[in-house]
Structure 1
């Protein structure tokens, strides 16, 4: 599958599935690993993984390979097998340039190049000529001689100058350069068509023209259509998630586990009107020490709308609206606020953990594919689509379990479940973007995970629930965190009163007994909820741009 999806990305669009399968079989045979084609890459040995990496590059039939330490970490037997494989690929027409410090099989190479400290050319020629030039049969001794040059800062330049005076420099460096320059000048006078390396080579070697045309067809894939790349990458990432069964199961179980805990701990009437707004009403409203006969705020509203209300309001020196606000007991809805806060924080947590390793674990694959034809936008949105669906499911499961134990009540202009779901989904998606941004920025998975507490703890601090955000600076800082907006939306939908819960004025604005005439509160509460949703959408968009920029930074620069 790894080879198949890479082939779909790299090979020309007109390649059929049969042709792709044939090409995969060819490269598997070339690297002698066809017998392991059905195994997971993570279950392969180190040498086999290196062969898979070579097979991925062979799919596009490149004319030149650049390999960095292809035999590192291999035992002597596997090292020799790898070098023999590279030799075989060279004999088939590929040019392979490799960096290595393992010299036991160096005679399989056509040419060797030694660099002195600072990148100065110390030698270029055949392995046997290197032994003759340095006067030793031990290649390790050549390394020692070059390393001692670091004791004298002018020694590397002197080594390079000595090589320039040798016949090997004239034969392998100077003469080919002079010949190339002369041929290029001659062709420029005959043909105004721009020169390319392959075209120039074909002009000088007509017998190889057919081979070169085939290589040109395969090794220069056009950048695939974004939609095709997006579809292909989405399917590939979904398969990767499903194959990583343990991690995928943990992601799936997040919402059910948290939801079941809340199901067990939440009270059955947490979102009832008498829990959200608790209005102790006495038999005689003018008698503040009498027994409480009702806690329903509707009784207070009916009373304030009756002729008797004028006596009560006159005695207290209040307006009817102020009397309604005063009638609501402090800490009304505290349990609901706690439950909503856990849901909001869980949403950010779910999203962040979903995306925290999605990109960083593919750093090597991403960089390799970007060098060929991978687009940033299709790659980014393939992660967002697959993990976004997971966020939708997690939000639904969490709300379902909470609503099963303590039915959600309220709503401003939509059914309460719809409002809560929209707010929680946007919150979870914002958390996902936060996780993906960290994953795109971090150099490795361990560093990415170390960012989790740094970005999640401030979500609690600036939510406006634990600490009241009164100063303008704190208000601005709080606006940067999704949990802050999530609480503003969730609390407004169920009708929490911020002044009774010790939070700032911006936090909640609902229609639940905020006015003697609920209809007058609807426009303001509706606008408040729409602002909350807009802020969460803006957060998602900004983080999405950040993800793209962080991915762009990963591009290998020449």
Structure 2
């Protein structure tokens, strides 16, 4: 396999290297030198501004079937047991119609290779940092990639755990997988075949055998190489030479044909995984159950009984009750949607590269969350009616109110999913909650009548969910 990069934007300059089958290569250098950019360019995720990347003589596409990519973040759900996580990943990546026995065999083999066979039933969140990193690698090994790219796999690990992980990668390379890692840890370089050491300007200061790195710069330790490179030292590329491992060990394993699951199968797998992840997350369950209970309790205390009694009509109270019911339905959907995507962005990005489609992903979110929201809306209406906070009416009337509430929740859920996809972390999504709720209250017409609003306010009010629900009811 030949891979060459001449330039990637303004970050990398004059980079050229060859990676051989069954070789472990490290990309090292100071922060900002372009290590991750080089890794992503070699993996086909970035197109170089100049030069070309070739894999077996052909240009790579994003996340081709022969590649495995492990970013710095975990690419597995922490709520699920390790074995279940890998089975879902295998179902999404393997060809349609793959027998369950083949999936189980791939999962067992990946866990065995990474030394995780005894941790199959343990939730990923309960694994140690090193075990979670190996679990992410196990996901990539499910389809037997010929090339494995890892972005700082030992970052955040203690020296012993990091060294153990590098020995695991050394074993994978010995079994025929070409492994490329970026690293900040000097000790990682000792187990590698080749080192590409980048200068702060993104040019290779050294490309050659790991054993010759210190000698090339005439320094006694790898740590001092960093100082020499920062001072501007640079040596010519050295030939790697022949690998000394036996030919039987360096022969690459034949990759599985990875066509990916079809649209319906992806939706079914993602729906099952989403539901299981939700039910296994105690905090999510507490929020889903607790929010409707608290809101219903507050409404029961806030509204007086008999507000809709025709013998003593109170139009102001009646309108306000309808407004807060509408807002409650909106709040259920928005709060449930805001954390659905941003909490699993690393998983989503990696699975998108592996062939997951956005349509089945979004549909799975709606499939899981809409029944939950429908139950919350039904409980809200039923409890308020039982406590005489709503008027006596026939089933069609309440059916219409329920359907309208569910539609309001669904619209808010869609807004929450959109906002969740626009932010990078849960903390940012939490800040979005009041920002999205405030316009619903301000422009709904419950506090300032719509006719008294400025023309811009009147136009905005028609898009507000509580306005539509309360007005329609």
- Structure 2 length-normalised TM: 0.77
Look up the SS of the partner of 1:53 in the other structure.
helix
Contact 1:408 1:417 in 2 (8 A): no
1:65 aligns with 2:148: yes
Q: CA deviation at 1:209?
A: 13
Partner of 1:427: 408
C-alpha offsets along residues 376-417 of structure 1, whole Å, 9 cap, x if unaligned? 010111011101111111110000001112243468xx8210
Greater CA drift, 400-409 or 418-427: 400-409
Of Structure 1 and Structure 2, the greater helix share is in: 1
Q: Residue by residue, what CA displacement relative to the aligned partner does 1:140-190 show, whole Å, maximum 9, x if unpaired?
A: 1111112233xxxxx8xxx4xx52xx6x2xx459xxxxxxxxxxxxxxxxx
Matched, 1:405 2:387: yes
**Counterpart in the other structure of 1:130:** 213
Call closer, same or farther: CA 1:105–1:423 in 2, change over 3 Å. closer
From 265, 269, 272, give the equivalent of 2:309: 272
Residue 384 of structure 2 is aligned to residue 389 of structure 1? no
Corresponding residue number in structure 2 for 1:201 = none
5 Å-filtered alignment, 1:230-309, equals 230-275=267-312, 278=313
Q: CA deviation at 1:210?
A: 9.9
Question: Partner of 2:97 in structure 1?
Answer: 14
Name the SS for the 2:413 alignment partner: helix
2:86 matched residue in structure 1:
3
CA–CA distance in structure 1, aligned partners of residues 349 and 363 of structure 2: 17
Q: In structure 2, what is the Cα distance between the partners aligned to 1:464 and 1:118?
A: 58
- Please show how residues 209-220 of structure 1 align to structure 2 within 5 Å: 214-215=254-255, 218=256, 220=257
- Counterpart of 2:428 in structure 1 is 447
Distance 1:85 1:262 in 2: 58
The structural deviation recorded for 1:249 is 2.5
- Max Rg structure: 1
Contact kept, 8 Å, 2:274 with 2:364, in 1: the verdict is yes
Residue-by-residue CA offset, 1:483-514 (whole Å, 9 max, x unaligned): 22122122xxxxxxxxxxxxxxxxxxxxxxxx
| Cα distance in structure 1, aligned partners of 2:212 and 2:343 | 44
Structure 1 segment 472-491 matched on structure 2, within 5 A: 472-490=455-473
Deviation at 1:211, TM superposition (A): 5.9
Structure 2 counterparts to residues 492-531 of structure 1, below 5 A: none
Kept in 2, the 8 Å contact 1:408–1:416? The answer is no
Show structure 1 runs of 5+ residues with no match.
150-154, 174-205, 279-331, 491-558
State whether residues 65 and 95 of structure 1, in contact with CA within 8 Å, keep that contact through their aligned partners in structure 2.
Answer: yes
Secondary structure of 1:96's partner? strand
Query: What's the RMSD between the two structures over aligned residues?
Result: 2.2
1:149-188 correspondence runs (5 A): 149=232, 159=234, 163=236, 168=238, 171=239
Q: Could you tell me how far apart the structure 2 residues matched to 1:231 and 1:337 are?
A: 42
Q: CA deviation at 1:261?
A: 3.1
Query: Following the alignment from structure 2 to structure 1, what is the Cα–Cα distance between the partners of residues 114 and 419?
Result: 36
**How many angstroms apart in 1 are the aligned matches of 2:250 and 2:190?**
30
Alignment partner, residue 313 of structure 1: none
List gaps (5 residues or longer) in structure 2: 1-83, 242-246
Following TM superposition, by how much is the alpha carbon of 1:357 offset from its aligned partner in structure 2, in angstroms?
0.7
Question: 1:107: Cα distance to partner?
Answer: 2.0
Distance in 2 (CA, whole Å) between partners of 1:480 and 1:118 is: 51
Higher relative contact order (CA 8 A, sep 6+): 2
Q: What is residue 366 of structure 1 aligned with on the other side? A: 348
- Does residue 1:36 correspond to 2:18, yes or no? no
Which whole-Å CA distance do the structure 1 matches of 2:97 and 2:175 have between them?
25
Residues 1:7 and 1:72: Cα distance change in structure 2 (over 3 Å): same
Residue in 1 aligned with 2:44? none
Work out whether 1:86 is the aligned partner of 2:169.
Answer: yes
- Secondary structure (helix, strand or coil) at the match of 1:451 reads helix
More moved, 244-253 vs 53-62: 244-253
Which of the residues 193, 204, 208 maps onto 1:121? Answer: 204
Q: Distance in 2 between matches of 1:379 and 1:117?
A: 40
The 3-state SS of whatever aligns with 1:35 is helix
